[in-house]
Amino acid sequence: MKREIRLPLTAQGRLDRALADALGLGRAAVKRAFALGEVRVRGRRARASDPAAPGALVELDVEEPAGPPAPEPDAPLAVVLEAPRFVVVDKPAGIAVHPLAPGEGGTLANAVAARYPECAAASPDPREGGAVQRLDLETSGCVLFARDPEAWEALHAQLRARTVEKVYRALVAGRLAAGGVSSAPLAQRGGRVVAAPDAEAEDRLLAKGLKPRPAETFYEPERRFAAHTLLRVRITTGVMHQIRAHLALLGHPVAGDVLYGGPAAALPGLERHFLHAARLAFDAPEGGRVAAESPLPRELEAVLARLPPG
């Protein structure tokens, strides 16, 4: 959908945010328009990080905003924890959390909308269907949905404050003798992230218009095999692909994750990433601390059973 808009005289800050506010669209749709090179200011291609110029004429081609996920009553849904104002469900690998385009189905949010229709109106971006956080396509485990807008805001505020406990289990290539933490900032570039392990690397990314975000990944060995280690991983931040990028940076990529680990990450018989969101703990909107836990899926347990012992 081609649009032409003149930024208000009060516009300030980044261009992508000013455009989203002026158009009344979700930032994801505007972000995609920038990624496709479909935004021009005074006839010249613009970047999302450019400063918003008050009164500037902006031309862009933006996708129609997706509405709430259509209910799919026949879609399977495994509920981990249910409460009056939220629900935690178990996402299988290979299923997206929510639709990205109008009419898209087959996502977790479509299944949630059928059983908990109120979730569809809980999130500010309707297409999210009440989802408070997301997992990568090939990552399984706990996903939190709010059942009303106030609950979504309260739960999302905890994510921003880093008070939500997020624990994963990951099988990685190689043997780790001890745990630790990786805190390299991460910058998004296309469909992946790039780590900035030192100040020089961070400066290079900034020079390319990329902004590294703070990220912390704590890990500890849970079980060792001949050529792999099963880790318990805890994150306080939520940068895209954070765990995968940090563990690959350490030289121990997630098994099955060839995007970040290359051939070293391949494991015969594993058709997905060995990364599972095992636990979420947070303050319930109704009051009190709650925790939801998801066991390893059977296909991942089967992988562990085939590995030679350490």
Query: Do residues 283 and 289 touch, judged by C-beta distance below 8 A?
Result: yes
What's phi and psi for 165, nearest 5 deg? Answer: -85, 120
Query: Do residues 286 and 84 touch, judged by C-beta distance below 8 A?
Result: yes
Task: State how beta strands 289-293 and 217-224 pair.
Answer: unpaired
Query: Do residues 239 and 186 touch, judged by C-beta distance below 8 A?
Result: yes
* Cα–Cα distance for residue pair 263/1, rounded to 1 Å: 41
Q: By three-state DSSP, how is residue 48 classified?
A: coil
What's phi and psi for 91, nearest 5 deg? Answer: -85, 125
Query: Do residues 131 and 277 touch, judged by C-beta distance below 8 A?
Result: no
The active-site residue out of 136, 198, 257, 283 is 136
Percent helix / strand / coil, the chain, rounded to 5: 25, 30, 45
CA-nearest of 81, 101, 127 to 32 is 101
136 catalytic residue (yes or no): yes
* Cα–Cα distance for residue pair 203/195, rounded to 1 Å: 12
Rounded to 5°, the CA angle 35-189-215 comes to: 130
Query: Do residues 195 and 184 touch, judged by C-beta distance below 8 A?
Result: yes
Q: Is 22 exposed, middle or buried (0-12, 13-18, 19+ CB in 10 A)?
A: middle
Q: Is 29 exposed, middle or buried (0-12, 13-18, 19+ CB in 10 A)?
A: buried
Write out the catalytic residue numbers: 136
